[in-house]
């Protein structure tokens, strides 16, 4: 995976909103304790939501059409371009909404409307040797060698581990400390094509699930099927539903040199529950988002 380092990769609201408490005093000559309706004291439940869009990223390896010859390592294994000229067109897809664990089509929002981007990643499944690599943002829009870190290179799939209270959860990150999951043996590992990332330690715990970078998580989900089957997987089969993953019947989409650009947007329909801060908390402070 050393070849990726040669010029290649790359969250304000708050939880616990409350109504302002109303108090009233009795109209008498003596003061009495303020009265407040119990319902007025109850916190407003703010549920998180976000929009996401998955685009297929084509390559331009035709040097006569302004493209770049494929990059390979000394052993002949392919890895993605680091210059914008090496990428072709993007094929866009459906805009989806994740709302407190349920995925639906975001039919009330246009893809070309003025959405606020929270984060984006470009991820490729390179081949069975390198498997997944990822970089921050849309890699087709920049020349990586000219960019600062972490946008200057491709990174292998990496994970951070939780603290003592959730040390079985693996947090996806662009730049991460670990190259394997916090645990092993859990069913989602094989279903997402992560067998090679399973923790090899004999005393490793049962993997508690995935959290962290939302765009990376959605990309891994999208790689479980072909582009044309993603809506079937998400909507008909509800494979990612209420923080759980269940198998679907579609052929996996981990084809060599397949690339995806995944964008996460704030949900304009949910101004309190879809801010940079609430999504950051969702990624890092809410436990597993898929298990």
Whether the pLDDT of residue 98 is over 50: the answer is yes
Residue 274: domain span? 47-285
Q: Does residue 24 sit within a domain? A: no
Query: 166 pLDDT band (50/70/90 cuts)?
Result: confident
Span 135-159, mean pLDDT? 97
Render pLDDT for 204-254 as a digit per residue (tens, 0 to 9): 999 999 999 999 999 999 999 999 999 999 999 999 999 999 999 999 999
Confidence of residue 5 (pLDDT cuts 50, 70, 90): low
Average pLDDT over residues 126-140: 97
Q: What is the mean pLDDT of residues 130-143?
A: 98
Residue 4 lies in a domain: no
In a domain, 25, yes or no: no
Q: How much is the pLDDT for 163?
A: 80
* Domain membership flag for residue 41: no
| Number of helices (H), then strands (E), in the chain | 5, 15
Query: Would residue 150 count as lying in a domain?
Result: yes
Terminal-to-terminal C-alpha distance of the chain: 28
87 located within any domain: yes
For 193: left if phi > 0, alpha if psi spans -120 to 50, otherwise beta; the answer is left
Let me know if residue 70 belongs to a domain: yes
Q: What would the pLDDT profile of 19-40 be if each residue is shown by its tens digit?
A: 232 333 334 444 444 555 545 5
Count the domains in the chain: 1
Residue bearing tokens 């989900």: 221
Percent of the chain whose pLDDT exceeds 90: 79
* Confidence at residue 9, expressed as pLDDT on a 0 to 100 scale: 38
Is residue 5 one of the residues assigned to a domain? no
């Amino acid at each position: 995976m050393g070849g990726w380092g040669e010029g290649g990769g790359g969250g304000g609201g708050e939880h616990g909103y409350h109504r302002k408490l109303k108090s009233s005093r009795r109209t008498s000559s003596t003061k009495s304790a303020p009265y407040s309706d119990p319902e007025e004291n109850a916190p407003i439940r703010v549920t998180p939501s976000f929009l996401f869009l998955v685009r297929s990223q084509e390559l331009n390896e035709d040097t006569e059409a302004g493209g770049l010859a494929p990059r390979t390592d000394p052993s002949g294994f392919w890895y993605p371009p680091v210059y914008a000229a090496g990428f072709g067109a993007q094929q866009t897809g459906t805009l989806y909404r994740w709302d407190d664990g349920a995925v639906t089509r975001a039919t009330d929002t246009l893809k070309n409307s003025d959405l606020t981007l929270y984060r984006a990643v470009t991820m490729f499944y390179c081949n069975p040797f390198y498997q997944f690599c990822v970089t921050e943002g849309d890699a087709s829009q920049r020349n990586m060698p000219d960019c600062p870190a972490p946008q200057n290179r491709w990174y292998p799939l990496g994970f951070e581990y939780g603290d003592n209270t959730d040390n079985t959860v693996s947090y996806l990150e662009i730049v991460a400390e670990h190259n394997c999951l916090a645990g092993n043996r859990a069913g989602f590992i094989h279903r997402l094509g992560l067998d090679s990332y399973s923790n090899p330690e004999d005393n490793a715990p049962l993997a508690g699930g995935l959290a962290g970078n939302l765009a990376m998580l959605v990309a891994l989900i999208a790689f479980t099927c072909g582009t044309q089957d993603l809506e079937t997987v998400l909507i008909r089969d509800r494979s990612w539903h209420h923080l759980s993953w269940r198998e679907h019947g579609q052929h996996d989409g981990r084809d060599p040199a397949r690339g995806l650009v995944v964008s996460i947007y704030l949900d304009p329909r949910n101004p309190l529950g879809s801010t940079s801060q609430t999504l950051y908390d969702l990624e890092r402070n809410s436990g597993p988002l898929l298990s």
